[in-house]
Structure 1
Amino acid sequence: MSALELDTESPTVDWDAVTDLPPSAKLVAKVLEYNDRLTQSQLAEETMLPPRTVRYAITRLEGVDAVKSRFSFTDARKRVYTLTIDAEA
């Protein structure tokens, strides 16, 4: 099994997982739905939310496994966030 195949087997959740989250977390999830991967600063710019609110939203989304993160290849100081919510659910 290749590394790519292992990555696609990561568990996905549906939109029901974010139902009880704050509006900021829902907004961040929606922005990530339309953009494959974004850094925290890009999310703040796209959502027009303060960076602290974006951090809180990401934490809440990670808590329900709706978002995953990895280090940026271009800048190891930054993390890149992607949505794990199944688009068809």
Structure 2
Amino acid sequence: MSVSEAVATEDTGDRWEAVRDLPPSAKLVAKVLDYNETLTQSQLAEETLLPPRTVRYALSRLEEEDVVESRFSFSDARKRLYTLSI
């Protein structure tokens, strides 16, 4: 099952509406955050098997659409923690 199909089958309203027109990498990152609540960029790269640069791009697109929220990590201020906000 593709990420698009997974998003479509789980869709119960327009929760995923903001994600529909985004690139597949952004959809994958959103879905992984949906399952894992909060992850760093490097953890997202590990989980999705995407290159770090692609994860950065996906996160920036998701932030533009207000789909993810980010905050600084208390344990390491150099890292940001990402959470799905939809």
- TM-score tier by shorter-chain length is 0.7 to 0.9
Identity rate of aligned residues, in percent?
77
Match of residue 3 from structure 2: none
- What is the correspondence of 1:1-89 to structure 2 with a 5 Å cutoff? 14-85=15-86
Letter in 2 for 1:23: P
Q: Which of 1 and 2 has higher RCO (CA within 8 Å, sep 6+)?
A: 1
Question: Where is the helix percentage greater, Structure 1 or Structure 2?
Answer: 2
Using the size of structure 2 for normalisation, the TM-score is: 0.83
Runs (4 or more) in structure 1 with deviation over 6 Å come to none
Q: How many residues align?
A: 73
Using the size of structure 1 for normalisation, the TM-score is: 0.80
In structure 2, stretches of 5+ residues that fail to align are 1-13
Larger radius of gyration: 1
1:61 Cα deviation from its structure 2 partner: 0.2
1:81 Cα deviation from its structure 2 partner: 0.1
> C-alpha deviations, 1:13-50, integer Å up to 9, x for none?
82000000000000000000000100000000000000
In structure 1, stretches of 5+ residues that fail to align are 1-12
CA distance in structure 2 between the partners assigned to 1:66 and 1:73 by the alignment: 22
